[in-house]
Homo-oligomer: A and B are copies of this chain.
């Protein structure tokens, strides 16, 4: 898939990373079409031709950097699945926290993801979103199956609905976490990642009605 010219692979580590970081920032700031190759190379102080030699075109550059990021995207999930502790709901809470940590570590990648989500013209969108979605669904389905076996969840729970609910909630939870301007017009009493993850988990555990003292 994502194969840049060997010339890029042969670059000194530091420069290679600077190129990717600067490009990632540009795509995160402006989306794909509005991102400017000019700005990227100007900030980097390299020739425009070089970037095109490395990646063929703008799309190739994007494919390379986002493809790499998607792999990173999946790692937190694998870690929970393999090393999670506690019951189903504890693991969900851990997933929330791990996702938040990823967003903290790679804010620009997450910003690109969010732009891609609703920009149907974003190149490679179907492929990348499909990949991410599939990984999430697979992870969540397995968590649900385990939860049913362990008795944390009713055996009759519809897995598809549950996946939808869990994925949606997590996604939106991260959206609000990554883009604080989406806050809801109420100054929350607690605004930390942990508190919100806990609130969401409580919701899954008990519903709003059973929420113990908020």
A residues contacting B by CB (< 8 A) are 29-31, 33-34, 89, 111, 114-115, 117-121, 126, 129-130, 133-134, 136-138, 140-141, 152-154, 156-165, 167-169, 171-173, 175-176, 179, 181-190, 195-196, 199-200, 203-214
Contact A118 B121 (CB under 8 A): no
CB distance from A193 to the nearest CB of B (A): 13
What residues of B have a CB within 8 angstroms of the CB of A182 in the complex? 117, 129, 133
Contact between B184 and A167 (Cβ–Cβ < 8 Å)? Answer: yes
19 A-B residue pairings within 8 Å (CB atoms): A30-B121, A133-B182, A136-B185, A153-B208, A154-B211, A156-B212, A158-B199, A160-B186, A160-B188, A161-B189, A163-B184, A164-B186, A165-B199, A165-B203, A203-B203, A204-B207, A205-B207, A206-B209, A207-B210
Cβ B126 vs Cβ A208 within 8 A? no
Q: CB within 8 A of A137: which of B114, B152, B184?
A: B184
